[in-house]
Amino acid sequence: MSSFFFIGGPCVIESEAHALRHATEISEICRAAGVEYIYKSSYDKANRTSGKTYRGPGIKEGLRILAKVKKQTGLRMLTDVHSPEEARAAAKVVDVLQIPAMLCRQTDLVVAAAKTGRSVNIKKGQFMDPWAMKNILEKATSTGNKDVWLCERGATFGYQNLVVDMRSIPIMKSFGCKVVMDAGHAVQQPGGLGNASGGMRDMIPVIARCGVAAGADGLFIEVHENPDRGPSDGPNMLKLADLPALLRDVVAIRKALTPSRGR
């Protein structure tokens, strides 16, 4: 994998056509920016605030759609898994298994995901400090899988609010793994809309730029052509039209921070 990568796509799979359209358009944006791209979308949002809201098409249909997107675009795929059984099933289709923040301490899940041999992206729980993530990383790498990433997504700061301690990025990088900045969920306001989570979408670029400046190896942002109509996490998804400018910014930041060779 290249030195910097972008993970993005709609929060949840809405339809095959919707997934293919987003994967194709985001891929073109990333190619223009010179950034490696991994498509992300979930077949099941198992941790929704309300049991009445849309969770996704389910694992069988969701993996079928992701397999179709992968075949047609040639992109790497990432999706969330919630149990050891799901990890083993998803690993047959996707390239990166993501451990949701709420499940990052579930030993059986973390170990099962790592045992598949796929790349694993473990989101730091909102209730976790960065130093504690070393133990979780070691659970995963104890399987022999060394392609394990840690993902910063903010920490609980009172009710319905998150903040990002940028120190967590270099702290987690010191463990010897790649670190991803999830700039979308970092601006989430859990349960802020009563029966759904709110968010401060206009702050996504701020967190993204800061995370990259702090040394993140990858950037994770859920992207949607019309976030306000998205069935899940709309307030903390970036508008597709805003992605090109943001990627230009973060690429410029990385370039400015990279020591010149040959001096």
The CATH number given to whatever domain includes residue 124 is 3.20.20.70
User: According to the model, what pLDDT value does residue 191 have?
Assistant: 56
CA 252 to chain CA centroid, Å, is 21
**Residue 74, domain member (yes or no):** yes
d(CA 205, CA 211): 10
**Residue 99, domain member (yes or no):** yes
User: According to the model, what pLDDT value does residue 139 have?
Assistant: 98
Query: Tens place of pLDDT for every residue, the chain, 263 residues?
Result: 448 999 999 999 999 999 999 999 999 999 999 999 999 999 998 776 656 678 899 999 999 999 999 999 999 999 999 999 999 999 999 999 999 999 999 999 999 999 999 999 999 999 999 999 999 999 999 999 999 999 999 998 888 888 999 999 999 999 999 999 999 999 987 754 545 566 789 999 999 999 999 999 999 999 999 999 988 777 889 999 999 999 999 999 999 998 754 44
**For 116, phi and psi rounded to 5 degrees?**
-70, -20
| Helix/strand/coil for 96 | strand
Range of the domain at 106: 5-256
Task: Please classify residue 242 by burial: count the beta carbons closer than 10 Å to its beta carbon, then call 0-12 exposed, 13-18 middle and 19+ buried.
Answer: middle
Residues forming beta bridges with residue 219, ordered by sequence position: 6, 181
**Residue 197, domain member (yes or no):** yes
175: which 2 tokens?
């463990």
**Residue 13, domain member (yes or no):** yes
Domain count, the chain: 1
| Helix/strand/coil for 179 | strand
What HEC string does 124-155 produce?
CCCCCCHHHHHHHHHHHHCCCCCCEEEEECCE
84: which 2 tokens?
């050891």
User: According to the model, what pLDDT value does residue 46 have?
Assistant: 76
**Residue 164, domain member (yes or no):** yes
Output the CA angle 118-102-35, nearest 5 degrees: 45
**Residue 188, domain member (yes or no):** yes
| Helix/strand/coil for 220 | strand
User: According to the model, what pLDDT value does residue 259 have?
Assistant: 73
**Residue 127, domain member (yes or no):** yes
User: According to the model, what pLDDT value does residue 262 have?
Assistant: 42
**Residue 263, domain member (yes or no):** no
Contact by Cβ (8 Å): 97, 122: no
